[in-house]
Amino acid sequence: MASVFNKGLYVSVFGESYSNAIGVVLDNFPAGIKLNVETIKKDMQFRAPLKGYVGASKRKETDEFEILSGIFNGHSTGSPICAVIYNKSLNSSHYNKIKNLIRPSHADYTAKVRYNNFNDFRGGGHLSGRLTAPLVFAGSICKQALKTKKIEIFSHIFSVGKIKDYEFNSLNFNAKELRNIKNKPIAVLNDEIIKEILNEIEDAKKEGDSIGGIVEAGVFGLAAGIGSPIFDGLENFIASIMFSIPAVKGLEFGKGFKFAKMKGSFANDEFYIKNGKIKTKTNNNGGILGGISNGMPIILKVVFKPTPTIFKEQNTVNLKFKRNEKILCSGFHDVCIATRGVFVVEAALNVAILSSLIFQGEF
Amino acid sequence: MASVFNKGLYVSVFGESYSNAIGVVLDNFPAGIKLNVETIKKDMQFRAPLKGYVGASKRKETDEFEILSGIFNGHSTGSPICAVIYNKSLNSSHYNKIKNLIRPSHADYTAKVRYNNFNDFRGGGHLSGRLTAPLVFAGSICKQALKTKKIEIFSHIFSVGKIKDYEFNSLNFNAKELRNIKNKPIAVLNDEIIKEILNEIEDAKKEGDSIGGIVEAGVFGLAAGIGSPIFDGLENFIASIMFSIPAVKGLEFGKGFKFAKMKGSFANDEFYIKNGKIKTKTNNNGGILGGISNGMPIILKVVFKPTPTIFKEQNTVNLKFKRNEKILCSGFHDVCIATRGVFVVEAALNVAILSSLIFQGEF
Amino acid sequence: MASVFNKGLYVSVFGESYSNAIGVVLDNFPAGIKLNVETIKKDMQFRAPLKGYVGASKRKETDEFEILSGIFNGHSTGSPICAVIYNKSLNSSHYNKIKNLIRPSHADYTAKVRYNNFNDFRGGGHLSGRLTAPLVFAGSICKQALKTKKIEIFSHIFSVGKIKDYEFNSLNFNAKELRNIKNKPIAVLNDEIIKEILNEIEDAKKEGDSIGGIVEAGVFGLAAGIGSPIFDGLENFIASIMFSIPAVKGLEFGKGFKFAKMKGSFANDEFYIKNGKIKTKTNNNGGILGGISNGMPIILKVVFKPTPTIFKEQNTVNLKFKRNEKILCSGFHDVCIATRGVFVVEAALNVAILSSLIFQGEF
Amino acid sequence: MASVFNKGLYVSVFGESYSNAIGVVLDNFPAGIKLNVETIKKDMQFRAPLKGYVGASKRKETDEFEILSGIFNGHSTGSPICAVIYNKSLNSSHYNKIKNLIRPSHADYTAKVRYNNFNDFRGGGHLSGRLTAPLVFAGSICKQALKTKKIEIFSHIFSVGKIKDYEFNSLNFNAKELRNIKNKPIAVLNDEIIKEILNEIEDAKKEGDSIGGIVEAGVFGLAAGIGSPIFDGLENFIASIMFSIPAVKGLEFGKGFKFAKMKGSFANDEFYIKNGKIKTKTNNNGGILGGISNGMPIILKVVFKPTPTIFKEQNTVNLKFKRNEKILCSGFHDVCIATRGVFVVEAALNVAILSSLIFQGEF
């Protein structure tokens, strides 16, 4: 199980950081969806390491994919779509050096215990952030299906360190603005904070350190009535995919943890009807009541912990010699994983929403 | 699907607030677990409406359950365990009066859309908080299985409004203290804040209002190596159950949203080995790395929004006449749902952890 | 997970032969289906032990059921439907006597091994044929949903011992004839063999013996295009439910095992079009090609082994003393289980077909 | 759905007859199993079209596979194993000619209806028998895991047309004989019938016709206690995989349909104990009682219908012109699909048995 999401859609992610390839199978994807390969390429490139900006990983990941099945004459066939991304001949020898030194806050230790030392430890193996590439592929495919129902999903960096962006609920953004977010150097709503965030990242980088961040995402155009109570609510669907993204440690909907200090009279979203359409005046619940969409935008936030890899000496354990040692990591890594994670969150949300719709027979 | 959790364990929750009964089926529960019915009764009573304290719902829910199958000679048989809780002849006529007035922040509206008006709307029907009673039954059963492996799960109110409790990570609590939490008037670690919380609730109550809160929960005694990467991580398992609890709008592990402002050098949990046992100095990751337990306590927080039912006039829509109207709710409701939710979180976590273990063939 | 069918519909069967009750939860059943309780009662009575005829079990099973949830104002609510059938205070003491003597061809031995001796062994426990009663309940509910799409399912005894009935494909039966099958003393198409079958059963009974039989079932009115290739074909769906019926040891579609001796030129079903409707001249494939319905009736046969319980001395093993012994069974048992199994097959097929439709978003 | 088997193991099959590649992902396969690639190659070649014998398809399928992930240093890593088999540049133009002529007893018509004409129709697309190659890969991997528990699975042609082989139960075959079956020109137990079967096939071929057959398979070395009652019995597991094989139209366990004419006193398998080991004198139930293994060999038979493609003119429908027409198929096809299907059945059974064991936490 592990790497299969299976509600409505089946999304089976495979591969290890240094195996021949990584990839994904999407099963139960509806037949007859027009699929633009250029769109997928573009979506994949957003997630790929950014060359331009300070603090980005410099490992040259080639995320060129090959579609093996499931698309015929430019449309989905209804049969499984499989895409693979080949791992080009990378040198993994530097991982051998630190093979027995478990990196703090990484999954080196837990994977070894889980798989009885048979896991492919190189570069994190199957637990590498690289495995988000297939998820982005899946998200791009799902996005194109959702578009046929006029459902659009956007995400942006809400915060890096102490710098905060606007919230989707705070202002009225038009579709054009939202579609442009991902083209910015940092994917934010408020252009004025881009420089501040770059500085924040630069500062962390200078110290050989990393920094955390929060991503906000929204689903626009989803009709009311999607999702089910108890275990198959929209929140459950979304959560079970969001926590598949490495470094994600929290998820909240609407006001989320702010609800703790709120009174009901302020928190409740009052309904009103206008032109026969029912809406709520506020959207504190992030568009979900009882696990079911209420027709307002689905709004959620996801927190990314700081990249575990830092260029400072840390204490750890040498598993071979069973003794305490120091570790100093090297290699290429993002200073703030949220700046790429923002695209993974968007992809994951596309998968979650399409899955919910298929699950309910709405596709 | 809706109301079936199905990973490792199958937990099928059924019933509506005013149907003949509510209940639960647990399938794939291991055979041969000694099950104490008195323990279950006690666990059920914690969740049941508290008579003693200010701000608690006064609806007399009789949560007496009957076990229909799966237990023989005091042990689980390995076949499905079914328990039912009968809904005693309650008068639901007051729900008819407001049948067409959708209550703000409740699921009245979304359930109607989802089920095309065929849902049992009385008292929230299948989406009622009452459906957490079967989950608490399931949790108590799972708890008794986990106990055989010396795994114990505790939860406490971390905050109500602005009043905050200690965190599990902040001090060293012994097992006796932890086991005593639920016997307190408010389930907190720090006795000194009980009165403050009761005041906070009393204040909200006087205004006919409600208030939110946060619950913290911890899993103690879980070995390293439980959980899987990507979609079947411990976080995914736990999330997919936590979001089944009505009013839960956020979930975080370890430092959670605090990670956003942290640097890696502070956030990372350094490993050390002592007497052959590997631990981490801090537990910012809440015991989970790459979806897999690392042997430290699993720590998480869950936020409950303020109870949607308040005794203040609110704006809403009359679905029958399709017009804007006012609604004034009456009846019995908790002022702060978190004070009972704390027991549901504990139950849900027991289910999640046992499921993870069964899923992995460890039971 | 043993007792949960979970594709499209979730059907969770619980209970043991001598537990407080047996029952079933149906989850993901569509909302708004008008459900007639009298129809369910009638369907349940067909399966219940027949008093009238020779060779039927005389154990008085009271199959009165109580619906606990999921039906409101005569329609399904969309939330889980739970029904229970109480086991009236039956004396199970005679099972204690033979507790350590495993009955040949029964599941006494395998259940003990499977559940490490913790299974409720009385009357077969969870593996009793009595557990088909909840399945019949589920089937009756599903039947009423299928009826709204003009899909009807029938079954009949195809053979008992050497006596054979017609096949659905052999003649053109009208709906009225088909609906009347189950009212006959033995559910056959050809009335003339009823007496022969009763004789066959009588003969076996006189010798304290039992006899096998074959049931044929058909789905009429199912549109083309239902089912999926490979693992989720209609045949897979149907098979995974049919083999849940105790004593079923084989399943074939259309010509089934007769295909082995056939040439393609005789076996192939040629297509033709008439009035714009595509049909096949023959229906050797039983209405399924590549796992997908082709619009012709779905035709299948299921074989029931002879009832394992016979009133002749047999060799077996005493598990307690670990020695070879003789066993002589007593109690009430059907001589030919197929004569009641025919109604279970029909129920199971109703569940399978509705599941397939829901799975595919057609409900 | 569709093409994912997901109980214990996840087996996701993808690809179309003329897509870039076909392949399979195995998820939840245990870590640390030593995997011999040469063994897989050999197993794949058995299924590949036989060059040597009369009546075999001459389409040159190159079933060379590439393993993309999940194997490291010769052992399974515990992460998903993905293998792909590239479809070499085959000319599919001849399929365009008959694109609108649905072939009798093929899935051309049903696939078109199911996927709204978007399916890749060339060579049967995803519904092609070619998709059994990934299943054979999966089977070979599973076989190597089962071997570590001394469980071995064999299959042989039981009949082609009127020619019949021995049954596993009929004689005592030693492991060496059983392992040698697949090396024979026709995989039978009784060498003397090889020529007869070849003649039977030759005869059909001369007429441009095809012929059906039956495969028998057996699981040797499986302990008692594997499988679960009702929906997750061994029979259900096996059935849900067997019916994924194209052309399979029936499945029976042990005496199967012969039970219909048997009396209980002959059909029942009496138990005995010898040297502390419990066995049955006969194995009419094919090693399964109540869905659970009883320690005897699991024995089953599967019927393959005659290859639908024949070189005789047949009646059919032209979908484009919506009129009746004649079709004359050409191309390369097996005369008796069972002669290759025998290896697919064996592979499918390996998958089913390993899945059952994993599902139950026995791996």
Residue D126 and residue A31: Cα distance in Å, rounded?
Answer: 13
The answer for residues whose C-beta is within 8 angstroms of residue C42's C-beta and 6 or more apart is none
Of residues C141, C184, C192, the one with CA closest to residue C166: C192
Direct distance between the N- and C-terminal alpha carbons of chain C, in angstroms, rounded to an integer: 26
Cβ A168 vs Cβ A53: under 8 Å: no
- Output the furthest CA–CA distance in chain B (Å, rounded): 72
Instruction: Give me the percent of chain C exceeding a pLDDT of 90.
Output: 86
Inter-chain touch D210–C263, beta carbons under 8 Å: yes
Determine the pLDDT at residue B179: 94
Tell me the pLDDT band of B161, cut-offs 50, 70 and 90.
Answer: very high
* Chain C residue with the nearest C-alpha to that of D101: C271
Q: Sorting pLDDT into bands at 50, 70 and 90, what band is C145?
A: very high
* Alpha-carbon gap, residue C7 to C28, rounded angstroms: 10
Across the range B100-121, mean pLDDT stands at 95
Single-letter amino acid code for the residue at D320: K
Contact between chains at D268 and C104 (C-beta distance less than 8 A)? yes
Residue A298 pLDDT greater than 80, yes or no: yes
Please report the pLDDT score of residue C193 as a whole number: 97
pLDDT number for residue A95 = 72
Q: With contacts defined as CB-CB under 8 Å, which chain C residues touch A79?
A: 229
d(CA C239, CA C257) in angstroms, rounded, equals 15
Q: Which chains touch C (3 or more CB pairs under 8 A)?
A: A, B, D
pLDDT at residue D323, rounded to an integer: 96
- Chain D: residue nearest B79 by CA? D229
What's the pLDDT tens digit per position in A21-66? 999 999 999 999 999 999 999 999 998 875 445 566 555 666 899 9
Q: Which residues of C touch D159 (CB under 8 A)?
A: 260-261
Concatenating the DSSP letter of every residue in D184-249 gives SSS--S-GGGHHHHHHHHHHHHHTT--B-EEEEEEEESPPTT-S-SGGGSHHHHHHHHHTTSTTEE
| H or E segment to which residue C28 belongs | none
Residues of chain A in contact with residue B280, where contact means CB-CB under 8 angstroms, are 104
pLDDT reported for residue B85:
96
User: Angle at the Cα of B218 (from B212 to B219), degrees rounded to 5?
Assistant: 145
pLDDT value of residue B59: 58
The single residue listed with the structure tokens 């093993």 is C317
Q: Which of C28, C149, C226, C358 to mutate to test the interface with A (most CBs of A within 10 A)?
A: C28
Q: Which of A3, A23, A66 sits opposite D27 (nearest CB)?
A: A3
Cα→Cα distances D334→B28, C264, D118, D121, D181, Å: 44, 12, 28, 20, 20
CA B111, CA A162: separation in Å to the nearest integer? 39
Backbone angles phi and psi of A315, in degrees to 5: -85, 140
pLDDT-based confidence at A90, cuts 50/70/90?
low
Lowest mean pLDDT segment, chosen from A288-297, B240-249, D242-251, D324-333: D324-333
Q: Which of D229, D361, D363 sits opposite B363 (nearest CB)?
A: D361
What is the Cα–Cα distance from A276 to B256, expressed in whole angstroms?
41
Q: What is the mean pLDDT of chain B?
A: 93
How far apart CA A164 and CA A330 sit, in angstroms, is 30
The tokens of C361 are what? 């978003």
pLDDT at B324 over 70: yes
Give me the CATH code for the C94-359 domain, please.
3.60.150.10
Fold topology of A4-359: Chorismate synthase, AroC fold (3.60.150)
Instruction: Say if residues C14 and C4 touch (Cβ distance below 8 Å).
Output: no
Q: Which amino acid is at B52?
A: G
Helical residues (DSSP H) of D248-297, grouped into ranges: 264-267
Contact present, B254 and B283 (Cβ < 8 Å): yes
Overall size of chain A counted in residues? 363
pLDDT of residue B119: 96
Rounded Cα distance, A246 and C30, in Å:
37
Please identify every stretch of chain D with a pLDDT value under 70, giving residue numbers as ranges.
Answer: 1, 50-62, 89-90, 332
Question: Which of A175-189, B284-298, C43-57, D326-340 comes out lowest in average pLDDT?
Answer: C43-57
User: Measured at the alpha carbon of residue B321, what is the angle toward residues B317 and B323, in degrees to the nearest 5?
Assistant: 40
Q: Whole-number mean pLDDT of chain C?
A: 93
Q: What are the helix (H) ranges across chain D? A: 37-47, 93-97, 108-114, 132-147, 175-180, 194-206, 234-242, 264-267, 338-359
**C20 and B126: CB-CB below 8 Å?**
no
Please write the tens of the pLDDT for every residue from C257-286: 999 999 999 999 999 999 999 999 999 999
Burial class of C97 by CB neighbour count within 10 A (0 to 12, 13 to 18, 19+): exposed
pLDDT tens, A211-266? 999 999 999 999 999 999 999 999 999 999 999 999 999 999 999 999 999 999 99
Q: Structure pTM? A: 0.96
Q: How does the average pLDDT of chain A come out, rounded?
A: 93
pLDDT band at C192 (very low <50, low <70, confident <90, very high): very high
Residue C326 tokens, joined: 């003789």
Nearest CB to B308 within list A264, A272, A303: A264
Q: B11 in helix, strand or coil?
A: strand
Could A267 and B305 be called an inter-chain contact, meaning their C-beta atoms sit closer than 8 Å? yes
Best CA proximity match to D217, nearest among D306, D149, D129, D297: D297
Structure tokens at C225: 């295009």
pLDDT number for residue A342: 97
Which tens digit of pLDDT belongs to each residue from A144-155? 999 999 999 999
Confidence of residue B90 (pLDDT cuts 50, 70, 90): low
Residue C52 pLDDT: 47
Lowest mean pLDDT among A94-108, A344-358, C20-34: A94-108
The proportion of chain B whose per-residue pLDDT surpasses 90, expressed as a percent, equals 86
Q: Dmax over Cα atoms in chain D, in whole Å?
A: 72
**Which of C118, C245, C263, C329 is the best residue to mutate to test the D interface, defined by the most D CB atoms within 10 Å of its own CB?**
C263
Structure tokens at D157: 């042609």
Question: Are D303 and C259 in contact, with CB atoms under 8 Å apart?
Answer: yes
Which amino acid would we find at residue A31?
A: A
Strand ranges in B77-212 using DSSP code E only, listed in sequence order: 81-86, 152-160, 163-164
B-chain residues within 8 Å CB-CB of C70?
Answer: 14, 16, 19
pLDDT at B51 over 80: no
As a whole number of angstroms, the distance between CA D257 and CA D259 comes to 5
